């Protein structure tokens, strides 16, 4: 009961925020106009956007594999990426990110924390790009001066954060030594935290490798460009007067809206962020919601089709992965410190990837 109550308490904020967002949407949106917007949309553009979802996923896999220093095959990275997004859509607490590290670590025989550190770097860079995109769009958006200040603040925090991470990566031995001295009174924290920081600093080494960092930024820029074009075409399908600024502002809003606690898959918050941003520009709440729902649906479909196929081909299920993640969460690391094996199946009866 204690564990159940802890889980419920962690769920409550996200559930509450999603329900409030859904209630606000239903209150302000004219359902008949919403249906009419769906019927009158340009379905050819919508089909192009759906096809582009798979191109975006393929590009994002290149980004992640580059951050991983190509230590895993493209096939494993691509399928695991889709599996992770699928898990995020249906499991709480963004367990898809943990699931990605767990699954790819098992397939490619990499340490769990080594893989997780690359996902952290990917998310930090995403936040930096989102801040830059929102900042570039806000000056053209009427009545969004307050959002500009917020985006500028977030952009500054991201830049400072990247600088701090760079300094830590350059001085990892000093940082690890400082952590050990400060945590000497808590042996458990010292052991687990030391392992975590060592793997994290290993992933942060991308910031100190100029050529690798430039490659990551190039692929990340291309991937975001695809996303901007996708969003623009989707908005054109519903708003013929839409401009590229609409896409930039909408994407920036979604990126930060997804950071808010919510139900799995950002239910309610995604629609609220994108629909709200487009309403500011287009003035039509019902049509903006139609565009946001179609965009969210494509996220589910593209990752769901590939992610479900990948999981089934590996003999896994959503609940099976969830149970394994919870089980690994409660298990201590091996005494010998072999982090590579700490998240591998405990016995041969647990499913492994077919190629390994």
Here the tokens at position 239 are: 């708003």
- Which span out of 18-32, 144-158, 280-294, 309-323 was modeled with the highest average pLDDT? 280-294
Backbone angles phi, psi at 263, to 5 degrees: -65, 160
Instruction: Answer with the residue of higher pLDDT: 353 or 203.
Output: 203
| pLDDT over 70 (residue 33) | yes
The span from the CA of 279 to the CA of 25, in Å, is: 12
25 inside domain: no
Kindly state the DSSP code that residue 332 receives in the 8-state scheme.
P
Are the C-beta atoms of residues 112 and 342 closer than 8 Å to each other?
yes
Q: What is the mean pLDDT of residues 303-332?
A: 79
Of 34, 19, 1, 12, the C-alpha closest to 288 is 34
pLDDT band at 215 (very low <50, low <70, confident <90, very high): very high
State the Cα–Cα distance between residues 57 and 200, nearest whole angstrom: 25
Residue 75: give the domain boundaries: 39-330
Asked if residue 229 is part of any domain, the answer here is yes
Which pLDDT belongs to residue 266? Answer: 82
Q: Where are the alpha helices (DSSP H) in 68-144?
A: 74-90, 95-108, 112-137
C-alpha–C-alpha distance, residues 50 and 234, integer Å: 9
Count of domains for the chain: 1
- pLDDT digit string, tens, across residues 226-237: 999 999 999 999
Q: Which residue has the higher pLDDT, 155 or 269?
A: 269
Does the residue 14 lie in any domain? no
Strand partners, 267: 263
- Is the model's pTM score more than 0.95? no
Please check the confidence at residue 11 and state whether its pLDDT lies above 80: no
pLDDT at 133 over 60: yes
Domain contains 352 = no
**Stretch 33-56: mean pLDDT:** 93
Domain presence at residue 26: no
User: Quick one: pLDDT at residue 146?
Assistant: 58
Residue 91 maps to a domain: yes
User: Cα separations (Å) of 135 from 129, 156, 248?
Assistant: 10, 11, 9
- For residue 29, being part of any structural domain is answered with no
The whole-number average pLDDT for the span 12-18 is 77
| Cβ proximity of 22 and 268 under 8 Å | yes
Tens-digit pLDDT profile for residues 152-196: 676 677 677 778 777 877 887 888 888 888 887 887 777 777 777
């Amino acid at each position: 009961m204690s564990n159940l109550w802890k889980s419920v308490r962690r769920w409550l904020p996200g559930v509450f925020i999603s329900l409030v967002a859904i209630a606000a949407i239903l209150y302000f949106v004219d359902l008949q106009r919403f249906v009419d917007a769906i019927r009158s949309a340009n379905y050819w553009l919508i089909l192009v956007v759906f096809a582009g979802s798979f191109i975006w996923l393929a590009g994002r896999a290149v980004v992640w594999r580059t951050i991983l220093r190509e230590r895993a095959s493209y096939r494993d990275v691509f399928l695991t990426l889709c599996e992770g997004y699928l898990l995020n859509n249906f499991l709480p607490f963004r367990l898809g990110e943990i699931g990605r590290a767990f699954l790819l670590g098992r397939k490619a025989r990499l340490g769990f924390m080594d893989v997780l550190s690359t996902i952290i770097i990917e998310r930090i860079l995403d936040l930096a790009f989102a801040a830059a995109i929102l900042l570039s769009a806000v000056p053209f958006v009427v009545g969004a001066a307050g959002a500009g200040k917020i985006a500028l603040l977030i952009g500054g925090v991201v830049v400072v954060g990247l600088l701090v991470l760079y300094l830590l990566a350059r001085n990892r031995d000093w940082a690890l030594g400082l952590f050990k001295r400060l945590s000497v009174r808590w042996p458990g924290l010292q052991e687990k935290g030391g392992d975590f920081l060592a793997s994290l600093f290993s992933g942060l080494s991308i910031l100190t490798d100029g050529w690798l960092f430039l490659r990551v930024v190039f692929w990340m820029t291309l991937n975001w460009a695809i996303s901007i074009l996708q969003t623009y075409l989707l908005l054109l399908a519903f708003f013929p007067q839409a401009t590229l600024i609409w896409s930039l502002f909408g994407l920036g809003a979604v990126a930060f809206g997804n950071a808010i606690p919510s139900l799995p898959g950002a239910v309610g918050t995604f629609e609220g962020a994108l629909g709200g941003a487009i309403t500011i520009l287009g003035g039509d709440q019902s049509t903006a919601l139609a565009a946001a729902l179609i965009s969210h649906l494509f996220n589910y479909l593209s990752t769901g089709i590939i992610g479900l196929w990948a999981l089934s081909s590996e003999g896994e299920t959503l609940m099976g992965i969830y149970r394994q993640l919870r089980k690994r969460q409660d298990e201590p690391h091996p005494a010998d410190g072999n982090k590579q094996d700490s998240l591998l199946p405990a016995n041969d009866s647990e499913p492994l990837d077919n190629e390994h």
